[in-house]
Amino acid sequence: MKILTVSALVCAMMALTRAAGAAALSEANPENAKQVKSHLVKRWRVCSDRWTEISGRCFLFVPRAMTWSQAERNCQSLGANLASVHAAEEYRQIQRLISNKAHRITQAWLGATDAAQEGVWFWSDGTPFAFSYWCKGEPNNAGYQHCLQMNHGGDKCWDDIQCHSHLASVCVKKSFQFLG
């Protein structure tokens, strides 16, 4: 345990030393300041091991079936929210992430709900609900359906379903950036 603690401290000191050295270099040569800062951001912008970077954010497929609210709380415990989707290509990449982890396309929770007001959908991470990929005839609110599942039906599109259903889920969080 002591070796692990010492190793972590040495790594942190090395990172801080490099950042301080880069800052000193940029102060000495202002023309290179932008290049040095850009290098630091690119070098430290990462998602942790289990997470996958898509569109500058970190995504995690959670195969354990839960209700929508349980899945959202699980994501929050990881410093994330149920995933929001903002473009068709991003949606396809999330589908590939699920397929790679589950070895098949499976239905999963995304972070949209209209439980607060019927027909007014919003993402639990607070980002604008500007993109959608609803299946034909959806959302239809048949039987108090207020939560969004992905990969529904043959078109693998979105469907509103009852929030107490049990599905896998996809979490999202911002990727970490070291700004020096």
When divided into structural domains, the chain yields a total of: 2
For residues 15 and 57, membership in a common domain is answered with no
For residues 59 and 141, membership in a common domain is answered with yes
Q: Are 174 and 112 in contact (CB under 8 A)?
A: no
> What would the pLDDT profile of 57-115 be if each residue is shown by its tens digit?
999 999 999 999 999 999 999 999 999 999 999 999 999 999 999 999 999 999 999 99
Looking at the domain assignment, is residue 131 inside a domain? yes
Average pLDDT, the chain: 83
For residues 15 and 66, membership in a common domain is answered with no
> What would the pLDDT profile of 123-142 be if each residue is shown by its tens digit?
999 999 999 999 999 999 88
Which residues are CB-contacts of 131 (< 8 A; sequence separation ≥ 6)?
85, 86, 87, 88, 91
User: Domain with 105 in it: what CATH number?
Assistant: 3.10.100.10
Tell me the whole-structure pTM to 2 decimals. 0.73
Looking at the domain assignment, is residue 179 inside a domain? no
Structural domain harbouring 27 = 2-44
Confidence class for position 143, pLDDT limits 50, 70, 90: confident
Looking at the domain assignment, is residue 56 inside a domain? yes
